[in-house]
């Protein structure tokens, strides 16, 4: 570890001190003087005509200040969707309006119908119960395939059907893939479900709208991963407030995992209501409410076919997926099953032709959008499951089959439109085999057998495209936003720095890792550097934190801004030392003239910048503050190999994870301690998906397990210790840090390892089980075992 | 509204509370002590754990009035007198036992109650003790490591 606390050092997190002493400042910890409280009345039926909303009795209830309904928002815009997917026929997707409050129709259980603002939350809640609704309930559209049958009830009457889009990728390869399937020596087919999940950050969403009538300024405090995106979406598309009159503040954010990227109607309501009432308005989501309002994740139903030639080389992959959009298009929903999923179907393998078909479907359920990994876990899961099945069918070793088909030369242009810059999949496979002590598996299996337990081993690889994304490419693919990141580096007169970034930590430790980058470049103590984030008034326009992009894109913007600082500081130093600019070197916070013993300290130069008495005013401006916007040239491509060992209890079907090992290649590492933690967390969520979690709707569109009593969140005793390693490093070639991003890897790589391991355990015990859908509950495993 | 009095982190406090005011609300709204968090409405997540008369309690599951006259300890009372981090807090920082920090107050309070009754718990005992504390960020790995470290033990098997 570097002793200087720069790049590569496992610095302890500075933010921890406030979090550990109860001094964090989360949105719900904020109370604005004079605030009122809003409570939403939500639909309890999944599909229905909303004939009337009678608020007269509720309005008379104590403390009620105002009740908003859909009628109040007819004049304003709907909640916008930030990505337009073009379908197989070149047509744009069907895009229904998403009103802030339901307007004439309710479309999912949880759809907001009215918002009651009162002096206290209890008063608002009591009054909401007095609102009388007249709803004609309609049959709910829940099952995706049924939703596409002619004559199915529709989620949106104004659309031609429940099909949002029918996407083919790469459409031109469709025929070649069909041919390859016909020519194949072997085709392995697998149908599977990628189970619907609820992100469940431990901090529920909160929004506080505030309005300064004298200045005409609105402020929104909100639990978001990307305050600037919310300001733009809500200001420009919903409420019509220009950016200079709207400030969005996201203080400490208690986890997000994607679910806090999106612009939600409650944010617009609070901002709107604060102005209408000229009072701050606060909303705190209850957990049972977050289950039916936070965007859900995954929910794909897929058939995948893998074609192989007589030598077991992969010759083609074809997939057919139905992806649930829910009742409305959440902010980035259309991009998840398409550009974040189809482009990853090559995985780590040199399959020459690939065709991905995705039908995105509207249903009467909560909108579905990005959840940790977003499209890439769905891609890895189906590919790594089908490869495992193919190895079993062909009677070959699953690791050898993977190795045989690995991409080994880089850069590598896949048949699904992306170009991997670097990677070494054999190296991560070797490392995984080492750290998981694969050689000792049989002995461990024998130990398990002595206890009457069935032990199984699952192995898989993954690749992801993250560090999202080149703006021009994203634009061609339908993004309605740029995906650069920004940084302003402000050097103060006495040498300390403030770095203002558009990224926003919601647990990733940016306040610790970002200073390491700057400290390393200048050669100063990271303690001299402060990070400012999460406030549109104090940071340059940036796109926020998701898609494992903060270091790769946001960190690169910080590098670029710091390079500008150093270039200017060198000019000042050159002047102070009466030397040529080109002769100045910066090392350990000291500027020196090459080949001489002349030097000036960092602080001398920064002081001169602000007290420019002896200063080249004719050549450069005083001050030392620079901004950079960094737009990446490509995605980054982290990859790795994972393994999982399970014990299955043959009497109950209960699965216990005994061992989990992850060997990742994240390129260069800035803070290895934080990277370990990111991988642990991702694996925890992946194990949760594989064994426990599943958001279940009944035929009437009721979420049947919408609380922690019923939705199985992973707990400490569901997990083993994990072995993680990121010593295999093939640096990214196109960002200045050579970093790839680590936030989502664990969630992408772990579900197939778990399922492969359980299938392996059952197969070794003589059960002809080829697949079980997640979550692998005892009931499902036991049933599969006892059928086969 | 009646006034409710108790001792919080060694200081006598008093604030108005209705009969149905939860202890978590009393701390957060009544006293402005926002270190104790609220993460659910069914008593399952444990981010709200405090100690009442030395025992761990989910403060969302107890009325403030029930804690009348009690000695309550919250995360704000866990640092050393000189303001430095206490042993458990320090172990969490040293072992990266927190990410977003939202579950952390409850985790630290639960860990403290475990170590008070079982100063050298095994990994399995720690995992079992935390069954009422959810964390969505860490996969629990570094939380378990932190608590082992706070009890002076190495995390065998944790890399
Ligand atoms: S807030 Fe969830 S258990 Fe108390
Ligand atoms: S650290 Fe985020 S929930 Fe535990």
pLDDT on residue B156 = 63
pLDDT on residue A1 = 37
**In the predicted model, what is the mean pLDDT of residues A365-393?**
97
Q: Mark whether B63 and B109 lie in a shared domain.
A: no
Find all residues with CB under 8 Å of A268, minimum gap 6, and list them: A76, A79, A100, A234, A238, A239
Q: Is B93 in contact with A254 (Cβ distance < 8 A)?
A: no
Q: Is A286 in contact with B41 (Cβ distance < 8 A)?
A: yes
Q: Mark whether B7 and B66 lie in a shared domain.
A: yes
Q: Mark whether B33 and B58 lie in a shared domain.
A: yes
Q: Mark whether B59 and B123 lie in a shared domain.
A: no
pLDDT on residue B157 = 58
| B79, B96, B157: residue with CB nearest A673 | B96
Q: Is B136 in contact with A200 (Cβ distance < 8 A)?
A: yes
**In the predicted model, what is the mean pLDDT of residues A578-587?**
95
Residue B91: closest C-alpha in chain A? A20
Q: Mark whether B35 and B52 lie in a shared domain.
A: yes
CATH number where B139 lies = 1.10.150.120
Helix A398-405, helix A425-435: angle, nearest 10: 160
- Quick: pLDDT tens for A732-778: 999 999 999 999 999 999 999 999 999 999 999 999 999 999 999 99
Which residues of chain B lie closer than 8 angstroms to A288, CB-CB? 41-42
Query: Would you call A213 helix, strand, or coil by DSSP?
Result: coil
| A22, A31, A204: residue with CB nearest B105 | A22
Mean residue pLDDT of chain B comes to 96
The token pair at A678 is: 């990111």
**How far, in Å, CA of A709 to CA of A729, rounded?**
42
Q: Say whether residue A495 is in contact with chain B using an 8 A CB cutoff.
A: no
Side-chain-side CA neighbours of residue A47 (13 Å):
21
Residue B138 alpha carbon to ligand 2 centre in Å: 6
Cβ-based neighbour number of residue A91 at 10 Å? 10
Find all residues with CB under 8 Å of A172, minimum gap 6, and list them: none
First to last CA, chain A: 52
Name the nearest CA neighbour of A127 among A135, A115, A109. Answer: A115
Estimate the share of chain A in helix, then strand, then coil, as percent rounded to the nearest 5. 30, 25, 45
pLDDT on residue A428 = 98
Residue B41 alpha carbon to ligand 1 centre in Å: 6
> Residue A680 CA: which ligand is closest?
2
CB A455 within 8 A of CB A645: yes
pLDDT on residue A705 = 97
**How far, in Å, CA of A47 to CA of A195, rounded?**
23
Q: Mark whether B138 and B71 lie in a shared domain.
A: no
Q: Mark whether B68 and B100 lie in a shared domain.
A: no
Going by alpha carbons, the residue nearest to atom 3 of ligand 2 is B135
**How far, in Å, CA of A220 to CA of A249, rounded?**
6
Q: Say whether residue A440 is in contact with chain B using an 8 A CB cutoff.
A: no
Find all residues with CB under 8 Å of A525, minimum gap 6, and list them: A4, A5, A519
Q: Mark whether B7 and B74 lie in a shared domain.
A: yes
CB A756 within 8 A of CB A458: yes
Alpha-carbon dihedral sign for residues A473, A352, A741, A687: positive
Alpha-carbon dihedral sign for residues A714, A715, A717, A722: positive
Radius of gyration of chain A (CA): 27
Instruction: Give the ranges where A149-286 is alpha helix by DSSP (H).
Output: 174-183, 227-232, 265-277
Least confident of A474-483, A578-587, B49-58: A474-483
- Of the pLDDT bands very low, low, confident and very high (cuts 50, 70, 90), residue B159 is low
Query: Would you call A285 helix, strand, or coil by DSSP?
Result: coil
Q: Is B136 in contact with A202 (Cβ distance < 8 A)?
A: yes
Alpha-carbon dihedral sign for residues A459, A547, A715, B118: positive
Indicate whether residue B135 lines ligand 2 (CB < 6 A).
Answer: yes
Q: Does residue B36 belong to any structural domain of this protein?
A: yes
Domains and CATH numbers, chain A: 2-23+484-630 (3.30.365.10), 31-138+205-284 (3.90.1170.50), 296-468+634-785 (3.30.365.10)
Instruction: Give the ranges where chain B is alpha helix by DSSP (H).
Output: 23-25, 87-94, 104-117, 123-129, 141-150
pLDDT on residue B154 = 84
**In the predicted model, what is the mean pLDDT of residues A566-579?**
96
| A202, A508, A746: residue with CB nearest B39 | A202
Which residues of chain B lie closer than 8 angstroms to A12, CB-CB? 93-94, 96
CB A526 within 8 A of CB A515: yes
- Quick: pLDDT tens for A229-243: 999 999 999 999 999
Indicate whether residue A255 lines ligand 2 (CB < 6 A).
Answer: yes
The token pair at B6 is: 């108790």
First to last CA, chain B: 54
Find all residues with CB under 8 Å of A520, minimum gap 6, and list them: A2, A4, A6, A7
Q: Mark whether B122 and B92 lie in a shared domain.
A: yes
φ, ψ dihedrals at A722, nearest 5°: -105, 150
- How many domains are contained in chain B? 2
Q: Does residue B39 belong to any structural domain of this protein?
A: yes
Indicate whether residue A507 lines ligand 2 (CB < 6 A).
Answer: yes
Torsion of Cα atoms, A663 then A667 then A673 then A679, to 10°:
-50
Instruction: Give the ranges where A349-424 is alpha helix by DSSP (H).
Output: 376-394, 398-405
> Where do the DSSP E strands lie in A132-245?
132-137, 163-169, 186-194, 197-198, 206-212, 217-222
pLDDT on residue A470 = 87
- Quick: pLDDT tens for A412-469: 999 999 999 999 999 999 999 999 999 999 999 999 999 999 999 999 999 999 887 7
CB A88 within 8 A of CB A37: no
pLDDT on residue B1 = 84
Q: H helices then E strands: how many in chain A?
A: 19, 30
**How far, in Å, CA of A776 to CA of A465, rounded?**
27
- Of the pLDDT bands very low, low, confident and very high (cuts 50, 70, 90), residue A3 is very low
**How far, in Å, CA of A645 to CA of A762, rounded?**
12
Interface of A with B in 499-528 (CB under 8 A): 506-509
Checking if the pLDDT of A502 tops 50, the result is: yes
Find all residues with CB under 8 Å of A409, minimum gap 6, and list them: none
DSSP string, A580-620: -GGGEEEETTEEEETTSS-EEEHHHHHHHHHSTTSS-TTTS
Element (H, E) at A430: helix A425-435
Cβ-based neighbour number of residue A294 at 10 Å? 29
Last residue of a domain, one of B54, B78, B102: B78
Tell me A555's DSSP state: I
Q: Mark whether B74 and B91 lie in a shared domain.
A: no
**How far, in Å, CA of A333 to CA of B71, rounded?**
49
Q: Mark whether B101 and B136 lie in a shared domain.
A: yes
Going by alpha carbons, the residue nearest to atom 2 of ligand 2 is B100
Element (H, E) at A787: helix A778-787
**How far, in Å, CA of A472 to CA of A517, rounded?**
27
Last residue of a domain, one of B46, B78, B110: B78
pLDDT on residue B146 = 98
| A288, A717, A725: residue with CB nearest B128 | A717
pLDDT on residue B155 = 75
Q: Does residue B158 belong to any structural domain of this protein?
A: no
> How does strand B71-73 pair with strand B49-52?
antiparallel
Rounded to a whole number of angstroms, the distance from the CA of A61 to the nearest CA of chain B is 19
Q: Does residue B159 belong to any structural domain of this protein?
A: no
Q: Which residue has the tokens 């642990």?
A: A680
Last residue of a domain, one of B78, B110, B125: B78
Which residues of chain B lie closer than 8 angstroms to A674, CB-CB? 96
- Quick: pLDDT tens for A181-195: 999 999 999 999 999
Look up the domain containing B103 and give its range. Answer: 87-150
**How far, in Å, CA of A270 to CA of A218, rounded?**
10
DSSP string, A515-554: HHHHHHHHTS-GGGEEEE-SBTTTS-S---S-TT-IIIII
Q: Does residue B141 belong to any structural domain of this protein?
A: yes
Q: Does residue B156 belong to any structural domain of this protein?
A: no
Q: Mark whether B37 and B96 lie in a shared domain.
A: no
CATH number where B35 lies = 3.10.20.30
pLDDT on residue A476 = 85
Q: Is B92 in contact with A255 (Cβ distance < 8 A)?
A: no
Residue B136 alpha carbon to ligand 1 centre in Å: 14
The token pair at A308 is: 């192989």
Element (H, E) at A362: strand A353-362
- Quick: pLDDT tens for A623-661: 999 999 999 999 999 999 999 999 999 999 999 999 999
Which residues of chain A lie closer than 8 angstroms to B33, CB-CB? 22
The order of strands in the sheet holding A281-284 is A64-69, A112-118, A36-42, A281-284, A206-212, A217-222, A246-249
Q: Does residue B72 belong to any structural domain of this protein?
A: yes
Q: Does residue B70 belong to any structural domain of this protein?
A: yes
Q: How far is CA A254 from CA A509, A752, B36, in A?
A: 12, 28, 13
pLDDT on residue A247 = 98
């Amino acid at each position: 570890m570097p002793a200087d606390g720069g790049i590569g050092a496992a610095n302890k997190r500075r933010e921890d001190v406030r979090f550990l002493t109860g001094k964090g400042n989360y949105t719900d910890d904020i109370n604005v003087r004079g605030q009122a409280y809003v409570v939403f009345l939500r639909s309890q039926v999944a599909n229905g005509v909303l004939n009337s909303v009678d608020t007269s009795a509720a309005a008379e209830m104590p403390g009620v200040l105002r009740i908003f309904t859909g009628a109040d928002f007819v004049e304003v815009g709907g909640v916008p969707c930030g990505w337009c997917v073009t379908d197989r026929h070149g047509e744009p997707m069907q895009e229904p309006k998403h009103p802030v409050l339901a307007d004439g129709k309710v479309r999912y259980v949880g759809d907001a119908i009215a918002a009651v603002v009162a002096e206290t939350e209890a008063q608002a809640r009591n009054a909401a119960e007095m609102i009388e609704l007249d709803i004609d309930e309609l049959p709910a559209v829940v099952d995706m395939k049924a939703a596409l049958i002619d004559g199915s009830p529709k989620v949106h009457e104004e659309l031609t059907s429940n099909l949002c889009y029918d996407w083919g990728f790469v459409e031109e390869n469709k025929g070649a893939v069909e041919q390859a399937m016909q020519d194949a020596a072997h085709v392995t087919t697998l149908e599977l479900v990628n189970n619907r999940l609820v992100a469940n950050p431990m901090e529920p969403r909160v929004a506080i709208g505030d309005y300064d009538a004298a200045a005409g300024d609105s402020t929104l405090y909100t639990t978001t991963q990307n305050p600037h995106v919310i300001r733009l979406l809500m200001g420009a598309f919903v409420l019509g407030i220009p950016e200079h009159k709207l400030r969005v503040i996201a203080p400490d954010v208690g986890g997000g995992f994607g679910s806090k990227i999106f612009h939600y109607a409650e944010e617009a309501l609070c901002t709107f209501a604060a102005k209408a009432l000229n009072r701050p308005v606060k909303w705190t989501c209850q957990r049972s409410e977050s289950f039916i309002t936070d965007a859900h994740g995954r929910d794909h139903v897929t058939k995948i076919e893998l074609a192989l030639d007589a030598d077991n080389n992969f010759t083609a992959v074809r997939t057919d997926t139905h992806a649930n959009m829910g009742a409305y298009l959440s902010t980035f929903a259309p991009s998840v099953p398409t550009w974040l999923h189809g482009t990853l179907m090559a995985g780590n393998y040199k399959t020459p032709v690939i065709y991905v078909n995705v039908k995105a479907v509207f249903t009467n359920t909560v909108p579905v959008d990005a959840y940790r990994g977003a499209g890439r876990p769905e891609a890895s899961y189906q590919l790594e499951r089908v490869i495992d099945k193919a190895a079993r069918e062909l009677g070959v070793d699953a690791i050898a089959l993977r190795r045989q088909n690995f991409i080994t030369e880089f850069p590598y242009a896949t048949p699904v439109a992306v170009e991997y810059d670097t990677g070494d999949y054999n190296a991560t496979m070797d490392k995984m085999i080492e750290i998981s002590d694969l050689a000792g598996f049989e002995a461990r299996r024998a130990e398990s057998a002595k206890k009457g337990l069935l032990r199984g081993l699952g192995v898989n690889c993954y690749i992801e495209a993250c560090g999202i994304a080149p703006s021009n490419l994203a634009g061609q693919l339908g993004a309605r936003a740029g995906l650069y990141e920004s940084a302003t580096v402000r050097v103060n007169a006495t040498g300390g720095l403030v770095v203002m970034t558009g990224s926003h930590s919601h647990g990733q430790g940016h306040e610790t890792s970002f200073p390491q980058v700057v400290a390393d470049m200048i050669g100063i103590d990271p303690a001299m550097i402060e990070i400012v984030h999460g406030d549109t008034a104090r940071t340059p326009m940036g796109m926020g934190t998701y898609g494992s992009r903060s270091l790769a894109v946001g960190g690169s913007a910080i590098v670029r801004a710091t390079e500008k600082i150093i270039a200017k500081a060198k000019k000042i130093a050159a002047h102070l030392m009466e030397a040529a600019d080109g002769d100045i070197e910066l090392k350990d916070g000291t500027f020196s003239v090459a080949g001489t013993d002349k030097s000036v300290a960092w602080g001398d130069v920064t002081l001169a910048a602000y007290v420019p008495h002896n200063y080249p005013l004719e050549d450069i401006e005083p001050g030392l503050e620079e901004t950079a916007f960094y737009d990446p040239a490509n995605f980054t491509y982290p990859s790795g190999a994972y393994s999982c060992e399970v014990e299955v209890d043959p009497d109950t079907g209960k699965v216990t994870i005994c061992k989990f090992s992850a060997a990742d290649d994240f390129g260069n590492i800035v803070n290895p301690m934080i990277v370990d933690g990111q991988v642990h967390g991702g694996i925890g969520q992946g194990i949760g998906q594989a064994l426990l979690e599943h958001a279940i709707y009944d035929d009437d569109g009721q979420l049947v397990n919408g609380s922690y009593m019923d939705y199985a969140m992973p707990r400490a005793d569901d997990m083993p210790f994990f072995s993680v390693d990121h010593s295999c490093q093939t640096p990214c070639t196109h960002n200045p840090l050579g970093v790839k991003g680590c936030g989502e890897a664990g969630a992408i790589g772990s579900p197939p390892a778990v399922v492969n391991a359980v299938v392996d355990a059952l197969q070794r015990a003589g059960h002809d089980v080829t697949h079980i859908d997640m979550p692998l509950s005892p009931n499902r495993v036991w049933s599969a075992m006892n059928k086969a | 509204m009646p006034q409710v009095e108790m001792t919080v982190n060694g200081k006598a406090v008093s604030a108005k509370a209705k009969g149905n005011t939860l202890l978590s609300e009393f701390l957060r709204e009544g006293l402005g002590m926002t270190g104790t968090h609220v993460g659910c409405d069914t008593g399952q997540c444990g981010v709200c754990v405090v100690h009442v008369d030395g025992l761990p309690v989910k403060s969302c599951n107890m009325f403030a009035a029930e804690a009348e006259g009690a000695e309550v300890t919250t995360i704000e009372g866990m640092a050393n007198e000189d303001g430095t981090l206490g042993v458990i807090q320090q172990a969490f920082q040293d072992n990266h036992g927190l990410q977003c920090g939202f579950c952390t107050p409850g985790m630290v309070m639960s860990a403290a109650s475990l170590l008070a009754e079982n100063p050298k718990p095994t990994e399995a005992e720690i995992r079992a003790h935390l069954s009422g504390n959810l964390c969505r960020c860490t996969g629990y790995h570094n939380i378990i490591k932190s608590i082992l470290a706070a009890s002076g033990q190495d995390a065998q098997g944790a890399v």
